[in-house]
Amino acid sequence: MTVLQAIIMAIVEGITEFLPISSTAHMALTGAFLGVKDKDFMTLFIETIQFGAIISVLVLYWKKFLDFKHYSFYLKLIVAFIPAAIVGVLLKSKIEEVIKNPVTITIIMFLGGIILLFIDKWFKDPVIDTEEKITYKNSLVIGLFQLLAVVFPGFSRSAATIMGGMQQKLTRSAAAEFSFFLAVPTLAGAFAKSLWDAWRHNPGLLTHENINFLILGNVIAFIVAILAIKVFIAFLVKYGFRGFGWYRIIVGLILLIFLLTGHSLAL
């Protein structure tokens, strides 16, 4: 990996992490287009620079995360996080194989786009507009929806959790914010597990140069994600999901045609 490749992939991560278009798919396909040769390190890079996006949430919502008087907030996140934690650990190796398969990721991205076209019609008349009104049952259901993104890389964690929130009668903005909150334990867990596995099973990936790439990627992803979160909330409240759905369908279709006509994106 080169510095330029790391910068471009980190920018893509920062823009896409909290949008319902799949940061995993975009980074994996970006890395393939850029010609990143070390596929194992690229997978580690994809899984760990999401930590920068976590920090952006903590910075933007620091009052929420430091309000220790309302401990129910943390319990809700734990309840929502548990399903992904269990399934993620059990299926980590399988999931990493999917990340390396561009056709599978593209198909999941395309199908996820079709689903986004109908979310606003499926889930109407929301009644929950703040995190305080979310129950533990709501949290668990949102966490179960998050499994769509865990089991099917390319579906989008944000799309899955926001869809789960809206199914539980959350407003678009409340669902999006809870999705941001849930990203903190989810992505922190993935970050820690990926680094631990690399250190135990493939320490050659953690060279001085590669660590510098991870630091650079996280810093850039952090800066870009802060801007992306603010823009996304405003866009989602005003326009809904259809635009994101059509984007995924068009990009997915173009990539599928590209791949199925004999071109290669060897991840």
Burial environment of residue 96 by CB neighbours within 10 A (0 to 12, 13 to 18, 19 or more): middle
Residue 203 belongs to some domain of the structure? yes
Number of domains in the chain: 1
- pLDDT recorded at residue 266: 45
| 8-state DSSP, 265 | -
- pLDDT recorded at residue 100: 63
Closest C-alpha among 132, 157, 141 to residue 50? 157
* 132-168 burial: b if 16+ Cβ within 10 Å, else e: eebeeebbbbbbbbbbbbbbbbbbbbbbbbbbbbbbb
Residue 79 belongs to some domain of the structure? yes
CA angle, 139 as apex, 138 and 140 as ends, to 5°? 95
- pLDDT recorded at residue 259: 77
E strands, the chain, are none
CA angle, 158 as apex, 103 and 263 as ends, to 5°? 15
Residue 109 belongs to some domain of the structure? yes
* 200-232 burial: b if 16+ Cβ within 10 Å, else e: eeeeebeeeebeebbebbbebbbbbbbebbeeb
- pLDDT recorded at residue 267: 42
What is this structure's pTM?
Answer: 0.82
Residue 129 belongs to some domain of the structure? yes
Residue 267 belongs to some domain of the structure? no
- pLDDT recorded at residue 92: 66
- pLDDT recorded at residue 239: 84
Residue 73 belongs to some domain of the structure? yes
φ, ψ of residue 59 in degrees (nearest 5): -70, -45
Residue 265 belongs to some domain of the structure? no
Domain of residue 140 covers 3-260
| 8-state DSSP, 129 | -
Token reading at 164:
């789960």
Contact 44, 205 (CB under 8 A): yes
Contact 25, 153 (CB under 8 A): yes
Residue 212 belongs to some domain of the structure? yes
pLDDT digits (tens), the chain, 267 positions: 889 999 999 999 999 888 888 887 788 788 888 888 777 888 889 888 888 988 999 999 888 888 888 889 999 999 999 998 888 777 766 766 666 677 888 888 899 999 999 988 898 888 998 889 999 999 999 999 999 888 887 788 889 999 999 999 999 889 989 998 998 888 888 888 888 888 988 888 889 999 999 999 999 999 999 988 888 888 887 888 889 999 999 988 988 888 777 655 544
